[in-house]
């Protein structure tokens, strides 16, 4: 059996090497995102492990006998799910790692911006000492902290926000009302969320329906003291519209860890936007999350090549029998 790691950014892949060797597999590490390279080198692979490389329909069409594509991470928008499903190839992600890390990062961005920590730091460093912050802001206890999405990470974020006394709300049309009630979170529709929330944290997958869910229309509905946080997928936000809203003070601030194009281009208008905190897709990271991700991915691949039942198959709706 041949396993191909298309690309990765880890200091070591010792875990993968050990698990694959124990399963009697050959491992090839490409370190390429070039579709032409992928189509040639992956043709005879029995499984793919992918971090950032785009696995498009042409690459999938070139796979002779692939049993699974496993993504290093939670998001899976870089893989053509329908094309893989049509070939009978399951695509798996790892949705149950880095929950705490991303939730902590989202809350850190939200709290820092809500208390105007970056702005006050800049004021002090600029030589001005004031016992009032740069702009008025409400108390946490009077502020609604809302998530767009109500999955694992969103719920972890809201549990953390609860400790700080925020009012809690969330929008997710795929979750039953009983789940909101059990969590003590108010269920709202998306228009209500935009207009009421003081802090909006995005926790959705990226697809045709969610792309730019936070765009000019949504921004126009938001409060002038609202804060936006995105630790999910960069394409959820129309970032040009967000930069304009920040420049025009239509909202109070934003904290972004993910972007439509990464690295963020040097000439992107976000870089000059005020009241904005940028981090470089680091929300997932801790000393424990890295080995956990690598181990779970390798275990998923081993299950696939052994013909064992797979978990976290994200394209099950598209799967057809293997030709």
DSSP state letter for 134: S
* pTM across the whole model: 0.91
Does the pLDDT value for residue 323 go beyond 90?
Answer: no
Rounded Cα distance between 202 and 180, Å, is 17
What does the pLDDT average to over 167-187? 98
203 is catalytic: no
Contacts by 91-95, CB closer than 8 A, 24 or more apart: 91/313, 91/314, 91/315, 92/68, 92/300, 92/304, 92/310, 92/311, 92/312, 92/313, 92/314, 93/312, 93/314, 94/70, 94/293, 94/296, 94/297, 94/300, 94/312, 95/151, 95/152, 95/312
Q: What is the pLDDT of residues 274-322, one digit of tens each?
A: 999 999 999 999 999 999 999 999 999 999 999 999 999 999 999 987 6
pLDDT of residue 104: 98
- Of residues 31, 76, 80, the one with CA closest to residue 55: 80
- Residue 132 makes CB contacts below 8 A (sequence gap 6+) with none
Q: Is residue 320 part of a domain?
A: no
Alpha-helical (H) ranges within 34-176 are 35-41, 57-62, 81-86, 99-114, 117-125, 152-163
281 is catalytic: yes
Q: What is the pLDDT of residues 124-168, one digit of tens each?
A: 999 999 999 999 999 999 999 999 999 999 999 999 999 999 999
Whether residue 163 is found in the same domain as residue 64: no
Q: Is residue 316 part of a domain?
A: no
Whether residue 109 is found in the same domain as residue 174: yes
Q: Is residue 263 part of a domain?
A: yes
Whether residue 92 is found in the same domain as residue 104: no
pLDDT of residue 322: 61
**Sign of torsion over alpha carbons 180, 183, 186, 190:** negative
SS3 26: strand
Please compute, for residue 241, the number of CA atoms within 13 A of its CA located in the half-sphere on the CB side. 15
Q: Output the average pLDDT for the chain.
A: 97
- Residue 30 makes CB contacts below 8 A (sequence gap 6+) with 4, 5, 6, 7, 37, 38, 41, 42
Q: Is residue 218 part of a domain?
A: yes
Q: Is residue 249 part of a domain?
A: yes
Alpha-helical (H) ranges within the chain are 14-22, 35-41, 57-62, 81-86, 99-114, 117-125, 152-163, 177-183, 190-196, 216-221, 239-247, 289-305
Whether residue 36 is found in the same domain as residue 125: no
Whether residue 82 is found in the same domain as residue 171: no
What does the pLDDT average to over 71-75? 95
Whether residue 48 is found in the same domain as residue 190: no
* Number of neighbours of residue 155 by Cβ within 10 angstroms: 21
Q: Is residue 323 part of a domain?
A: no
Q: Is residue 140 part of a domain?
A: yes
Domain of residue 297: give its range: 2-96+287-305
Q: What is the pLDDT of residues 56-66, one digit of tens each?
A: 999 999 999 99
Whether residue 108 is found in the same domain as residue 88: no
Catalytic entry in 281, 292, 295, 299: 281
Rounded Cα distance between 231 and 134, Å, is 26
Rounded Cα distance between 135 and 116, Å, is 8
Q: What is the pLDDT of residues 210-258, one digit of tens each?
A: 999 999 999 999 999 999 999 999 999 999 999 999 999 999 999 999 9
> Helix 289-305 crosses helix 14-22 at what angle (to 10 degrees)?
20
| β pairing state of 186-187 and 167-171 | parallel
Catalytic entry in 14, 26, 262, 308: 262
Whether residue 195 is found in the same domain as residue 254: yes
- Name the domain count of the chain: 2
Catalytic entry in 8, 233, 260, 303: 233
Whether residue 8 is found in the same domain as residue 146: no
233 is catalytic: yes
Q: Is residue 53 part of a domain?
A: yes
Whether residue 61 is found in the same domain as residue 183: no
Q: What is the pLDDT of residues 7-54, one digit of tens each?
A: 999 999 999 999 999 999 999 999 999 999 999 999 999 999 999 999
pLDDT of residue 165: 98
Residue 185 φ/ψ, nearest 5 degrees: -120, 130
Whether residue 59 is found in the same domain as residue 170: no
Whether residue 241 is found in the same domain as residue 299: no
CATH number, domain containing residue 229: 3.40.50.720
């Amino acid at each position: 059996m041949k396993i191909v790691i298309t690309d990765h950014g880890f200091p070591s892949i010792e875990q993968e090497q050990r698990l694959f060797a124990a399963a009697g597999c050959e491992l090839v590490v490409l370190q390429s995102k070039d579709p032409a390279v992928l189509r040639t080198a992956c043709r005879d692979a029995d499984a793919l492990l992918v971090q950032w490389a785009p696995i498009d329909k042409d690459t999938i069409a070139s796979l002779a006998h692939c049993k699974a594509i496993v993504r290093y991470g939670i998001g899976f928008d870089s893989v053509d799910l329908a094309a893989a499903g049509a070939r009978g190839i399951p695509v798996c992600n790892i949705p149950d790692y880095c929950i705490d890390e991303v939730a902590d990062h989202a809350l850190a961005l939200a709290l820092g911006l809500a208390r105007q920590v970056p702005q006050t730091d800049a004021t002090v460093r600029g030589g001005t000492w004031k016992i009032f912050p740069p702009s008025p802001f409400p108390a946490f206890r009077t502020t609604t902290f809302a998530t767009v999405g109500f999955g694992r990470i969103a719920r972890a974020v809201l549990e953390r926000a609860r400790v700080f006394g925020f009012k809690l709300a969330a929008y997710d049309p795929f979750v039953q009302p009983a789940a909101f009630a059990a969590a003590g979170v108010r269920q709202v529709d998306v228009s209500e969320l935009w207009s009421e929330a003081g802090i909006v944290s995005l926790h959705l997958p990226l697809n045709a329906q969610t792309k730019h869910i936070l765009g000019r229309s949504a921004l126009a509905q938001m409060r002038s003291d609202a804060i936006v946080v995105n630790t999910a997928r960069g394409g959820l936000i129309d970032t040009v519209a967000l930069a304009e809203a920040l420049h025009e003070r239509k909202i109070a601030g934003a904290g972004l860890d993910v972007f439509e194009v990464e690295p963020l281009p040097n000439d992107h208008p976000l870089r000059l936007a005020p009241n904005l905190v940028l981090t470089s897709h680091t929300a997932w990271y801790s000393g424990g999350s890295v080995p956990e991700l690598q181990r779970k991915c390798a275990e998923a691949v081993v299950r696939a090549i052994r013909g064992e039942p797979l978990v976290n198959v994200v394209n099950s709706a598209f799967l057809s029998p293997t030709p």
